[in-house]
Amino acid sequence: MCEEADEAWEVCDARRVRARKQHTCVACTDPIEPGHVYFKTFTVFEGLVGGWKHCVRCNIMYRRLLTELPFSAWVDEKLNCGTSWNSAMGQDPPEDVARLAFVTAAEAQLLLVGPGIE
Q: Average pLDDT over the chain, rounded to whole?
A: 82
**Structure confidence at residue 21 (pLDDT):** 97
Instruction: Determine contact, residues 59/8, Cβ cutoff 8 Å.
Output: no
Residue 75 domain-assigned (yes or no): yes
Residue 115 domain-assigned (yes or no): no
Instruction: Determine contact, residues 28/101, Cβ cutoff 8 Å.
Output: no
| pLDDT per position as a tens digit, 33-46 | 999 999 999 989 88
HEC readout, the chain: CHHHCCCCEEEEEEEEEECCCCEECCCCCCEECCCCEEEEEEEEECCEEEEEEECHHHHHHHHHHHHHCCCCCCCCCCCCCCCCHHHHHCCCCCHHHHHHHHCCHHHHHCCCCCCCCC
Residue 118 domain-assigned (yes or no): no
Whole-prediction pTM: 0.78
Domain count, the chain: 1
Residue 116 domain-assigned (yes or no): no
Average pLDDT over residues 102-113: 85
Residue 117 domain-assigned (yes or no): no
CATH number of the domain where residue 61 is located? 3.30.1740
Radius of gyration of the chain (CA): 14
**Structure confidence at residue 19 (pLDDT):** 96
Domain extent for 52: 2-108
**Structure confidence at residue 2 (pLDDT):** 61
Instruction: Determine contact, residues 16/51, Cβ cutoff 8 Å.
Output: no
pLDDT tops 70 at residue 117: no
Round to whole Å and give the CA distance between 70 and 77: 16
| pLDDT per position as a tens digit, 37-81 | 999 999 898 888 989 999 999 998 888 888 887 665 677 888 876
Residue 79 domain-assigned (yes or no): yes
